[in-house]
Structure 1
Amino acid sequence: MSALYLARGASKVVRRITSETSVELKILSEKWQLLLAGLVFQYIHGLAARGVHYLHRPGPTLQDLGFMILPELGKERGYISETLFTFIFLSFVLWTFHPFILQTKRFYTVLIWRRVLAFLCASQFLRIVTFYCTQLPGPNYHCREGSPLARLPQPQNVAEVLLINFPRGVIYGCGDLIFSSHMIFTIVFVVTYQKYGYIRFIKMLAWCIAIAQSLLIIASRKHYSVDVVVAWWVVCHY
């Protein structure tokens, strides 16, 4: 009986996945242009962040209220904020695809990512404008005076810039400070779940995690406090 029950359950899941995939592909065929544009802009954003690294000039870390209040985690504990961000990112991605399996559906996956990418692009465009307008000495350890990564040598060819040294160039970037990209993604994801999610506890937990991520970024000295504050204001304002 248990084997028969499992077989019936698996059959229902397969039918749901097939049905949902058919619907999502139809929506994708109509809405793919904006999705593609959003994905392309992610590369443009990475290219801009790589470009400002060439302009970065290391200097003394600026006076920051968050640095005074929060204890410094240290270079060896910088992975904590990155680990939390990875958890946030993967959790959100998995949640956006849950309608393929579960019947508790309030959105279409293609449309939710269309909306998310639109918000990300708008925020990232403003971010590019701000970090090119005002270039601050990076507080991160690899951006400080004496670090070989703080200043990039002039590129030898165009390909060196266009390839953005992924993923190392993304992890060890400098100069793209105002405002925090990690917080853009985090808050967009949390706001999206706040609107389309249905479990109150997870909504409350998501906001708590976003606050914890903010504090960890500052404690890790990856951004100044103003970078985090501006990210909150910009994304929540939208």
Structure 2
Amino acid sequence: MSFYYIGREASKLWKRICAEITTEIKLLGENWKYILGGLICQYIHGLAARGVHYFHRPGPVLQDVGFYLLPELGQDRAYISEFVFTFVFLSFVLWTFHPFITKSKKIYTVLIWCRVLACLVACQILRIITFYSTQLPGPNYHCREGSKKATLPRPDNILEVFLIVPRGMLFGCGDLIFSSHMIFSLVFVRTYHKYGTRRFLKQCAWLTIVIQSLLIIAARKHYTVDIVVAWYTVNLVVFFIDKSLPELPDRSGAAALLLPLSKDNKTKEGINHKLLNGNTGDTADWRPRTQINGKILEEGTIVHVEAIINGL
């Protein structure tokens, strides 16, 4: 009996994944230019960060209040901040693909990444302008005086300039104000705060970002000013971009469920839920799963809905 149940649920999951792939491919066909443009800008940002490393000149570490208040992690434990950032990054990426496997569908993966990339590109343009305006002596261990990695040697050919290697991304110098790690983390957390549904996870996400900020300073990867500027710049940029972009479409059709449905409408609604969610279209599955009146429903929160219909 258990094998029959597992097989039935696996079949539903496979249908749900196939239906979601079909939907997302269609959206990708309509929005591929935005996705491609955002990815190209990530590459340009990487080139700019590598380019400023050629101009970096090591010098005495600047006075910093964060360095006095926070104990230094040291080179052996500097990886802790990278571990926290990797956890935040991977968690967000996995969350954006949750519509492929869950019945509760709040977002479209392609559309959410279009929004995220728009915020990242705007912040990274400001970052490039800032760290090319003034190069500060890097506080990281490999950027200090006496380190061979503090300044890149002149490239042997033009291809070397356009080549980005992971090791170079980890051991860059000069691209300080403001922190790229904080750009990604803050954009991801703000996006989940708006479109996520679990209040506890939202609180944990913000706490994680605060801890990451302190760890970056303690690891001497950035000055305190790099973190402070990232906090208010990224939040302001995301706020204004969010206001200028159209809101994401409501996937649940929850507003329609508040209205009396005819027999034909119920049939159509059931077919739509079956295609999107992979279920049988039972009325038990017809429950609000996302936005009502422009707000995301959070688990553990009771939302009172007033349906006002013109003429009724």
- Work out the CA distance in 1 between the residues paired with 2:34 and 2:233: 22
Superposition TM-score, scaled by structure 2 size: 0.75
TM-score by length of 1: 0.99
Q: Gapped runs of 5+ residues in structure 1?
A: none
* 1:226 and 2:225 correspond: yes
**How many angstroms apart in 2 are the aligned matches of 1:180 and 1:39?**
19
Residue 137 in 1 paired to residue 149 in 2? Answer: no
Report deviation, 1:53. Answer: 0.1
AA aligned opposite 2:62: L
Which residue in 1 is equivalent to 2:151? 151
Task: Confirm whether residue 199 of structure 1 aligns to residue 198 of structure 2.
Answer: yes
User: Is 1:60 aligned to residue 60 of structure 2?
Assistant: yes
Compute the displacement of 1:61 (Å). Answer: 0.3
Return the letter of the residue paired with 2:187.
Answer: V
2: CA distance, partners of 1:71 / 1:158? 42
Identity of aligned residues (%): 66
**How big is each residue's C-alpha offset from its partner over 1:196-217, in whole Å with a ceiling of 9 and x where there is no partner?**
0000000000000000000000
The 4+ residue runs of structure 1 with deviation greater than 6 A are none
- One-letter code of the match for 1:108? Y
SS in structure 2 of the partner of residue 218 of structure 1: helix
- 1:173 maps to which residue? 172
Structure with bigger RCO (C-alpha 8 Å, 6+ apart): 1
Report the structure, 1 or 2, having the larger helix content. 1
Q: Which runs of 5+ in 2 are unaligned?
A: 238-312
SS in 2 for 1:168: helix
Aligned pairs (5 A) from 1:1-238: 1-164=1-164, 166-238=165-237
Greater C-alpha radius of gyration: 2
- Structure 2: distance between partners of 1:121 and 1:107: 21
User: Alpha-carbon deviation of 1:156?
Assistant: 1.1
Cα distance in structure 1, aligned partners of 2:103 and 2:125:
36
Tell me how far apart the structure 1 counterparts of residues 235 and 49 of structure 2 sit (CA, whole Å): 23
Partner Cα separation in structure 2 for residue 161 and residue 231 of structure 1: 27
Alignment deviations for residues 81-104 of structure 1 (CA, whole Å, 9 cap, x no partner): 001111111100000000000011
Deviation for aligned residue 1:153: 1.0
Count of matched residue pairs: 237
Partner of 2:123, secondary structure, is helix
